[in-house]
Amino acid sequence: MPKDSNGLTLDGQGKPLWLSLEITYRCPLKCSWCNNPLDFDDYAARELSTDEWKRVLREARELGALQLGFTGGEPLQRPDLEELVAYANALGFYTNLITSGIGLTEARLVALKAAGLKQIQLSLQATEAAVTDALVGATAHERKLDAARRIKAHGFPMVLNMPVFRQNIGMTDAMIAWAAELGIEYIEFANIQYYNWALMNRDELMPTLEQVREAEQVVQRWRDTLGKKMTIYFVIPDYYEGRPKACMNGWGAIHLTIAPDGVAMPCQEARVIPGLEFESVRDKPLAWLWHESPLFRKYRGLDWLPEPCVSCDEKEKDFGGCRCQAFLLTGDAGNTDPACGRSPHHARVREATDTAARPLRFRKPLFKRAAGTVTTAFLED
């Protein structure tokens, strides 16, 4: 059965407990670690309509989905977000908004509260405006801080998410101090996974192991100081752990993502893997897609595992790791995740971590997420 890193059982008993709706890939920011597809702008004209999203919500609830994340892109780019939240709330979902905060005005917060939104996850990249704005390619820092204050003023439970990389990992202490002062209940430091835009920028973004360990110590000091006042998550990059993560708690185990064009996926990155059959809720019932489609059955469970995973006593914890990462680093999604120290391809990960530890003569420009082209912006450490 899938388990999280704390050993708690996360067995969905065949149900997609967590539903992620990528209602649009449109976004006002240009983050260099974005996990949206490199060709994200090609999907804008194919987004599901309001009624189509409502049908997805009904079918997902019938399947047993409980937790719901509205995400993107930036979900606030959809003017029907409040209508979808209200509909999901009426169906019995616990609704989460995963947002950059750009566009989260007072009027929209009031409307989302009235619609029944239960929780908001806000991303904040740094404690300094110059760093935030450079990283996201827009004047965003002050608007993010304002969004955080508004969220708390309206009484929403709030998760503050700081994606971690070498440019901001040294701000861990300052970020926790700021969050504690505002009264934020949960803060997550998520060392980024290297897919899509992040993989293009990996050499520039990856922190060193020394930086990660120092940040861990900072987090532990704050945990000791704050106790139960704040829950602090620190997600260690699997490149440094020597063991892979159970990606989405197992392929097709508890997590279901619906892309803007209606394609159902076991994770938001699955489209990077060639040769898979991607089918849309426009063409097939969601129940069939979850239970019977070749895509969801491809890497579900343990029967597909290669060696050394088949013989590994941890296979029921990590399920061979991430299929997308295996493909991106080895060219074959059926391989053991190279993040695993037992993988025959682990040298690919060691090369990356060795590069991160070496002093570079100069910093290369970051490839910025941009529609129709790849632009660059220079950002020093």
pLDDT at 375: 43
Show the tokens assigned to 255. Answer: 């997590």
Tell me the per-residue pLDDT of 20-35, one tens digit each, with 9 for 90 and over: 999 999 999 998 888 8
Q: Are 250 and 297 in contact (CB under 8 A)?
A: no
Q: Which of 221-225, 319-323, 349-353, 368-372 has the lowest mean pLDDT?
A: 368-372
* Residue 247 marked ligand-binding: no
For residue 337, pLDDT beyond 80? yes
* Average pLDDT, rounded, for the chain: 90
Q: Give the residue-averaged pLDDT of 41-58.
A: 92
Q: What percent of the chain has pLDDT over 70?
A: 93
Q: Are 257 and 267 in contact (CB under 8 A)?
A: yes
Say how far residue 77 (Cα) sits from the centre of its chain: 18
**Residue 360, class by beta-carbon neighbours within 10 Å (0-12 exposed, 13-18 middle, 19+ buried)?**
exposed
Segments making up each domain of the chain, as ranges? 18-240
For residue 380, pLDDT beyond 90? no
Q: What percent of the chain has pLDDT over 90?
A: 79
* Residue 309 marked ligand-binding: no
For residue 6, pLDDT beyond 80? no
pLDDT at 37: 77
Q: Are 316 and 298 in contact (CB under 8 A)?
A: no
Listed in sequence order, the DSSP H helices in 97-154 are 106-115, 129-136, 141-153
pLDDT grade for 365, boundaries at 50, 70 and 90: confident
* Peptide bond between residue 308 and the one before it cis (omega within 30 degrees of 0): yes
Tell me the per-residue pLDDT of 232-253, one tens digit each, with 9 for 90 and over: 999 888 899 888 988 888 999 9
Name the CATH superfamily for 18-240: Aldolase class I (3.20.20.70)
For residue 129, pLDDT beyond 80? yes
Per DSSP, the residues of 288-318 read HHHHT-HHHHHS-SSTT--TTTTT-TTHHHH
pLDDT at 248: 85
pLDDT at 246: 87
